[in-house]
Amino acid sequence: MAKSADSRPPKPARGASAPATTTQAEEHEDELRALQAARGRVDALRTQIRDHDYKYYVLAQPEIGDSQYDALMRELRELEEEFPELLSPDSPTQRVAGQAAEGFAVVEHREPMLSLSNVFDREELFAWEKRMVRLAERDDFTLVCEPKIDGLAISLVYRDGRFERGATRGDGFRGEDITQNLRTIRTLPLVLDADPDTLPAAFEVRGEVYMSKAEFVRLNEQRAEAGEQLYMNPRNTAAGSLRQLDSRITASRRLNLFVYQLGWVEGERPASTHSGSIEWLKSLGFPTNPLTEIFHSTGEVSLFCEAWVERRETLDYEIDGVVVKVDDITTQRVLGAVGREPRWATAWKFPAEQAVTRLREIQVSVGRTGVLTPFAVLEPVFVGGATVSMATLHNLDHIRELDIRAGDDVIVQRAGDVIPQVVGPVLARRKGDPPVFEMPSECPVCGTAVHKDPEQAAYYCPNRNCPTKLARQIEHFTSRGALDIEGFGEQRSAMLVEQGFVTSLADLYDLPARREELLAVEKIGEKTLDALFEGLERSKQQPLHRLLIALGIRHVGSETARALALNFGSMEALRNASLEEIQSVPDVGPIVAEAVHQYFQDPEYQAQVDRLAAAGLRMDEDVSARGGILEGLSIVATGSLEQWSRNQVEELIKRLGGKVSGAVSRKTSFVLAGEGGGSKRDKAEALGVEILDEDEFIQRLRDLGWSEGE
């Protein structure tokens, strides 16, 4: 799905000289408008990406292709670089996507399992190398390349030479404990081929579980004979197999494994290079990819990657690119990570595969804010390793820009194992003059007259009681970034609305009183209900800013919610605030302030908040953040730290009242610089900004009255 040319907000001409007739106030107003436009787009992108993350990593039921997802991430990253004040620790660019599924214990990863940045051609690979040369101040990198397996990333822990525990990557910090299921994979060594006294006391190995093409064919033939629904592709089938609660089912799927990295080690590492670590793992009996190669230039690497575009079909397993890593581990540590990605590794992604199929019709779906999104219903076509039949079409402007019409033969492309992108129509095959698509005048769900947003391309349903809107609002309200209540996915949220259990968000907290009615609903058992009710009860303790996110107030994302909560301290103060008082909050402009003020002036929303308060939800923010020991300080964190991850230290700074900035300026109070601080450290030195290492930072906090237990 190509992005509309108008999907990005205009960038302000920062630093450009203004016309002589332009006043400073007008320039400031222009910058504010540009910032607010960017803020709205950033919030929309984050919501969209998190939704796709959940469907891909948790449900293994993706809805867009890798190329589309990469485009969304790239646009978000560019906006956050252009407007660093919009960057937040919970942005998808700062963290790894996914979360633990129901039915498995949660495992906290000792070291985060990061994802990889992407390059798509030689030019982008050379740009990646150029950044490393600048940061590491050297250009003699040895690089290790291996095919990128299209499977499920896992963490394996060995203690005293024996397999102790295995977990999925999850969100990079927490995964699912799937130890029993991993034990069924015959290529995974349960006891290592070495004297335990010669091994580290404990260490972690990371790898990828996959299903071979031959096994996928065998399994589908077996299901066809039994009259069962066929699986779509090997990747989703492998992911689903590892999440079976009955390990006997997993064992019957004949999964396979390649290990690709040595993680943390208790004691001395066995090698100083990545390739040496892989050889050590291979000597212990771990399955490593024999196609791994070592190169000494990005030119050689690019030839290797380009060759695999053609050779990929010769393999008995799916790959969607090539992973490129710096071999020297000390250099890896110097380069560190940025957000959710290590700087010392990247993935050369293969181009999307294309096919031509018939566009049967264009239908419209309704989102949680009421926005109507058109999507294509396709004649099923096999492309990129799966049969696909739907693709989103974004909005009316996008459809008209590409001149897509029902009945056209269209080019669809697919990168990865998810729903494709419509590239455009094959005009030479168009028959006659099919009608141009028009957005419906009424909501396809509730029949309410549709409104057009005069400032955007969106059409929306204004009916607050629209069933689909409410179901999507429940999904958002309970999502991890909001009140974090597991179990309210798409199907359950829709069921609760359709059967009248929920007519507003506040009704969720009345569900425990309707236990017997819910037990009468098909597929809802006592254990499921107990888990739902426990989640609802825990959510009452979430701080005010999480509740503000959950309410879905227009233009209010995580950073705005936190700013409002810290400034006003309580829901009551925010509700009673004037428009001017809301707009005076740092980083809250007139558009956002107007949306917040209107929300709390609306009688229906007032009643909803009152009911939530009566249900026992917390209506204030952590007081430690207001008037904290770092209040008034703007702090930049860079490099790799020993005691905290980047997200953890930024959360600590905010909890203590400080402001986290993504860029160094003369207004920066100090820079917390870990190993490999790079360009931010250099800029701080040039500007004369104070630089603290981790020990100095901890001592500064202690001097201000902080203790490690806070």
pLDDT digits over 49-81, tens only? 877 765 664 455 677 776 778 888 888 888 888
* Separation of alpha carbons 232 and 418, rounded Å: 10
pLDDT at 168 over 80: yes
DSSP 3-state of 133? helix
Q: Which stretches does DSSP call E strand in 438-557?
A: 451-452, 459-460
So what's the pLDDT on residue 472?
94
Higher pLDDT, 516 or 5: 516
Domains present along the chain, CATH in parentheses: 1-94 (1.10.287.610), 106-349 (3.30.470.30), 353-452 (2.40.50.140), 467-622 (1.10.150.20), 624-703 (3.40.50.10190)
Q: How many CB atoms lie within 10 A of CB 457?
A: 15
- CA angle (296 as vertex; 208, 675 as ends), nearest 5: 70
| 349 Cβ neighbours under 8 A, 6+ residues apart | 66, 67, 70, 118, 119, 120, 148, 320, 321, 415
Residue type, 39: R
pLDDT at 543 over 60: yes
pLDDT at 261 over 90: yes
Residue type, 355: A
So what's the pLDDT on residue 207?
97
Q: Which residue shows structure tokens 């295995």?
A: 166
pLDDT at 514 over 50: yes
Give the chain's radius of gyration (CA, Å).
26
What CA–CA distances, in Å, run from 684 to 511, 591, 670, 671, 678? 54, 34, 8, 7, 10
* Separation of alpha carbons 424 and 316, rounded Å: 32
So what's the pLDDT on residue 83?
85
Q: Which residue shows structure tokens 């390739």?
A: 275
DSSP 3-state of 54? helix
| 656 and 622 Cβ atoms separated by less than 8 Å | no
| 65 Cβ neighbours under 8 A, 6+ residues apart | 352, 384, 413, 414, 415, 416, 418, 419, 420, 421
Confidence of residue 95 (pLDDT cuts 50, 70, 90): very low
Among 445, 346, 457, 487, CA closest to 394: 457
> Would you say the C-alpha torsion 398, 403, 409, 413 has a positive or negative sign?
negative
- CA angle (389 as vertex; 385, 393 as ends), nearest 5: 110
pLDDT at 137 over 80: yes
So what's the pLDDT on residue 13?
45
Among 372, 337, 396, CA closest to 646: 337
DSSP 3-state of 381? strand
| 483 and 548 Cβ atoms separated by less than 8 Å | no
Q: Which residue shows structure tokens 């592709």?
A: 233
Confidence of residue 297 (pLDDT cuts 50, 70, 90): very high
What CA–CA distances, in Å, run from 189 to 125, 184, 207, 470, 613? 35, 10, 13, 49, 53
The average pLDDT across 117-140 equals: 92
Question: Residue 96, CB half-sphere, CA atoms under 13 Å: how many?
Answer: 25
β-sheet bridge partners, residue 273? 328
Q: How many CB atoms lie within 10 A of CB 437?
A: 17
Element (H, E) at 686: helix 678-687
Helix runs in 183-252, H state only: 213-225, 234-242, 247-252
| 336 and 640 Cβ atoms separated by less than 8 Å | yes
Task: Look up 659 and say whether it is catalytic.
Answer: no
* Separation of alpha carbons 665 and 646, rounded Å: 20
Higher pLDDT, 642 or 600: 600
DSSP 3-state of 163? strand
* Separation of alpha carbons 40 and 79, rounded Å: 11
| 632 and 665 Cβ atoms separated by less than 8 Å | no
So what's the pLDDT on residue 102?
54
Confidence of residue 201 (pLDDT cuts 50, 70, 90): very high
Q: What do you get for the CA distance between the two ends of the chain, in Å?
A: 46
Per DSSP bridges, beta strands 634-638 and 659-660 are parallel
Which of 52-61, 350-359, 522-531 has the lowest average pLDDT?
A: 52-61
Among 117, 69, 73, CA closest to 93: 73
Per DSSP bridges, beta strands 341-342 and 337-338 are antiparallel
Confidence of residue 167 (pLDDT cuts 50, 70, 90): very high
Helix runs in 499-631, H state only: 515-519, 526-539, 544-551, 558-568, 571-575, 579-583, 590-601, 603-614
| Long-range CB contact pairs, 521-528, < 8 A, 24+ | 521/495, 528/487
| 667 and 634 Cβ atoms separated by less than 8 Å | yes
Please state the length of the chain. 710
Residue type, 666: R
So what's the pLDDT on residue 622?
66
Confidence of residue 100 (pLDDT cuts 50, 70, 90): very low
Tokens of 637: 């964190």
Give percent of the chain with pLDDT exceeding 70.
Answer: 90
Check residue 148 and report its DSSP letter: E
* Separation of alpha carbons 92 and 109, rounded Å: 19
Element (H, E) at 700: helix 694-703
Active-site residue (options: 148, 325, 349, 654): 148
Tokens of 151: 């499977």
Element (H, E) at 400: helix 396-402
So what's the pLDDT on residue 60?
52
> Would you say the C-alpha torsion 250, 255, 261, 262 has a positive or negative sign?
positive
pLDDT at 294 over 50: yes
- CA angle (383 as vertex; 377, 385 as ends), nearest 5: 125
Longest dimension (CA), the chain: 80
* Separation of alpha carbons 51 and 92, rounded Å: 11
User: pLDDT of 617-666, one tens digit each?
Assistant: 999 986 444 567 888 888 888 877 877 876 678 778 887 888 877 667 88
Element (H, E) at 117: strand 117-119
Higher pLDDT, 624 or 703: 703
Chain mean pLDDT for the chain: 86
